[in-house]
Amino acid sequence: MKITYIGHATLLLDIAGMKILTDPNFESSLGRLLPRVSAPGVALDKLPVLDALLLTHAHADHLSFRTLDRLPRNIPLYAPGPVVKWLVQKGYGHATPLDPGESVQMGKVRIHAGKSVHQGNRYGFDRWRNATNMYVIESPDESIFFAGDTALTESTHHLVERVLWNGGRELDVALLPIGWAPSWKPGFRRGHLTSDDALELFRTLRARALFPYHWGTFRHVTASAYDAINRLRARLEGFAGREHVHIVEPGESLLVDDAGLCRIEARRPL
């Protein structure tokens, strides 16, 4: 299994021969005011042949129409049902609904959808589009949890519990977003994970490895692109199990062998 960090929530998952791209965003900025601070770890035109696109919700940092316009349309684009309706209306006929509790098989890989605690609608008026998914991607031998955006709640681990634990399996890699907001923004944690939240969820998930994302890509209104990862690095100094937390830079990959051992593969020169 190989997981490459392209940037923000865009990751290339290579599992059991299937290549899946999550929340594709290769844009140079978010809107006009929030520039990208690091180039995509893999250029869009250097991507391998993909088998599927996986979308969690409709926020602009996760759903980039300009990026979708440059990606193939002969593969499925899995997303929550309400978001798929919007995508199809805009001409993305390959958009395919995958709602919480549903799953789909691709070769040896099965993708399971669960509900995230996150308001995912694009604009303030479109609450009917607020559906946000998290996913478990599993093969007979490997498993990945991709959280999308979510808050830490008593039920955040339930998808992993249902799909893996109840079948006597453990999670291999937890892909968890990390963020940070100043104290005057207390509502942040109602729909996001801080670095501390991610570490707590990692312990709950009992995963073999933690791969934090959602950092080092875009400048935000209330935080820099590196605030969250800097806080995570500081927190790891006293964290039991820090050897299982792998901070992968854009362009680098996490390789997981058959024994569950992990190593980071450096970015290859273009």
pLDDT of residue 184: 87
Domain 2-265 has CATH 3.60.15.10: yes
Instruction: Specify the pTM.
Output: 0.95
Residue 81 CB contacts under 8 Å (≥ 6 apart), including other chains: 97, 98, 99, 131
| pLDDT tens, residue by residue, 196-248 | 999 999 999 999 999 999 999 998 888 899 999 999 999 999 899 999 999 99
Q: CA 157, CA 210: separation in Å to the nearest integer?
A: 14
| pLDDT tens, residue by residue, 51-97 | 999 999 999 999 999 999 999 999 999 999 999 999 999 999 999 99
**Once rounded to an integer, what is the mean pLDDT over residues 152-175?**
97
Percent of the chain with pLDDT over 90: 84
pLDDT of residue 270: 47
Q: Are 46 and 267 in contact (CB under 8 A)?
A: no
Q: Are 207 and 173 in contact (CB under 8 A)?
A: yes
Residue 231 CB contacts under 8 Å (≥ 6 apart), including other chains: 180, 194, 195
- Tell me: pLDDT of 149 over 60: yes
**Token pair 């316009």: residue:** 69
Name the band, by pLDDT with cuts 50, 70 and 90, for residue 268.
low
If one compares 120 and 61, the residue with the highest pLDDT of the two is 61
Q: Hey, how many other C-beta atoms are within 10 angstroms of the C-beta on 79?
A: 29
- Tell me: pLDDT of 30 over 80: yes
pLDDT of residue 222: 86
- Give the residue extent of every domain in the chain: 2-265
Q: CA 2, CA 12: separation in Å to the nearest integer?
A: 8
pLDDT of residue 269: 53
Name the band, by pLDDT with cuts 50, 70 and 90, for residue 187.
confident
Alpha carbons within 13 angstroms on the beta-carbon side of residue 66 total 10
Cα–Cα distances in Å, from 121 out to 9, 82, 83, 130, 260?
17, 10, 9, 4, 37
Could you tell me the strand order of the sheet in which 77-79 lies?
Answer: 95-97, 77-79, 52-54, 18-22, 10-15, 2-7, 253-256, 262-265
CA end-to-end distance (rounded Å), the chain: 22
Token output for 221 = 């209104």
